[in-house]
Amino acid sequence: MNTRATGLIRPEILALSAYAVPSSAGFIKLDAMENPYAFPADLKPGLMEHLAAASLNRYPDASAGELREAIRQAMNIPDALEIVLGNGSDEIIQMIAVACAKPGAALLSFEPSFVMFRLIATFCGLDYVGVPLTKDFAIDIVATRAAIEQHQPAVTFIAYPNNPTGNLFDRDAIREIIMLSPGLVVIDEAYFAFSSDSFLDEIANFPNAVLMRTVSKLGLAGLRLGFLAGHPEWIREFDKVRLPYNINNLTQAAAAFALRHYDALLAQAAILCIERSQLLKVLRTIPDITVFPSEANFILLRVPESEKTFKALLSRKILVKHTSASHDLLGNTLRVTIGTPAENAAFVSALRDTI
């Protein structure tokens, strides 16, 4: 049918393919950095009470005051910083991009990193500048200085730790980027719960840096909740482009309750960190694969033939992320999320069979 869509839709959107989420029914799901553990059973009755009290007939609390306070308390957000919430941190990336999208403005990030930085830049009509990482996935500071000088980015996104590589970038390199940047620098700490380092205590010292986190990797991926913490001058502007009522009543109720039991969530993350070191140790004993260090709840590995290994894992009902095609530096790589001990063991055994 001639719907005229191709004539009307912007060419850069026509050129995209939709974000692909494979069906995972019946699979051991190690592809999306979800926490494999369910919400603690002893807390479920309390959670249900909270959800039962939420009014479905009313619009949500537009500013989500109770939830923002629960986040502040749980995560010790410094008083100098204001908070705005997003329907996942993906929505926050979009709010920032929408607010910064002057004609000709650029969004800078690194390659390989989180794909939504590039995609959302494209959605919002920003020029995307992807500075390649070095072959050991570090920031190439010389290339970054040159890119900042040349493109004068309105906003720069730095994932700390980085996805899909799992490493923390050099802290001094990030400080220098913040200092050199004419625009805003967003430190994306999606994996803070698994990381040995954070910018939380330092972010308020910079006039042009903000910190983004999500509860997705912490065991609450189904709620869709992220937040941005920064100086009120920044947060006020981003709050203006936030769609009204973006955090629904059930998410507000469930997340506020869950964050009052933040210790239980952190305890699960701590278990996953132990599992991560076990898995790293075992993977390093398998000949012919390269295992990259990780400060997140996933591990990147390089195998001799990733396509073959990925398919063999699939046939054994194990779903990981095949990252090979997404960047030159990621040739023959797979990204595996840390699962339960049984899931990790199933992965290792299938991997051994297929290498």
- Order of all β-strands in the sheet with 209-214: 82-86, 226-230, 209-214, 184-188, 155-159, 106-111, 127-132
Reduced 3-state DSSP string for 165-189? CCCCCCHHHHHHHHHHCCCEEEEEC
Q: How near is the Cβ of 216 to ligand PLP at its closest, in Å?
A: 3
Coil vs helix vs strand at 331: coil
Q: Is 216 in the site for ligand PLP (CB under 6 A)?
A: yes
Using CB under 6 A as the binding rule, whether residue 187 contacts ligand PLP is answered as: no
Question: DSSP characters for 39-82?
Answer: SPGGGHHHHHHHHHHS-SSS---TT-HHHHHHHHHHHT--TT-E
Beta strand ranges found along 87-225 (DSSP E): 106-111, 127-132, 155-159, 184-188, 209-214
Q: Could you give the 3-state DSSP secondary structure of residue 163?
A: coil
* Cα gap 171→160, rounded to integer Å: 9
Rule CB under 6 A: is residue 88 a binding residue for ligand PLP? yes
Q: Does 190 bind ligand PLP (CB under 6 A)?
A: yes
Range 228-247, binding ligand PLP (CB under 6 A): none
Is residue 337 within the footprint of ligand PLP (CB under 6 A)?
no
- Residue number with CB closer to ligand PLP (95 or 159): 159
* Contact call for residue 226 and ligand PLP (CB under 6 A): yes
Q: According to CB under 6 A, which residues from 26 to 65 bind ligand PLP?
A: 33
Comparison of 89 and 346: residue with beta carbon closer to ligand PLP: 89
Q: Alpha-carbon distance 228 to 155, whole Å?
A: 14
Q: Is 159 in the site for ligand PLP (CB under 6 A)?
A: yes
Tell me which residues in 99-118 interact with ligand PLP (CB under 6 A). Answer: 114
CB of 296 to ligand PLP, least distance (A): 8
Contact region for ligand PLP (CB under 6 A) — 6-14, 84-92, 282-290, 323-331?
84-92
Q: Strands 127-132, 82-86: parallel, antiparallel or unpaired by DSSP?
A: unpaired
In the list 188, 275, 295, 343, the residue contacting ligand PLP (rule: CB under 6 A) is 188
Indicate which single residue of 31, 34, 90, 343 sits in contact with ligand PLP (rule: CB under 6 A): 90
Angle at the Cα of 323 from the Cα atoms of 199 and 176, rounded to 5 degrees: 30
Residue 128 binds ligand PLP, judged by CB under 6 A:
no
Binding site residues, ligand PLP, CB under 6 A? 33, 88-90, 114, 159, 163, 188, 190, 214, 216, 226
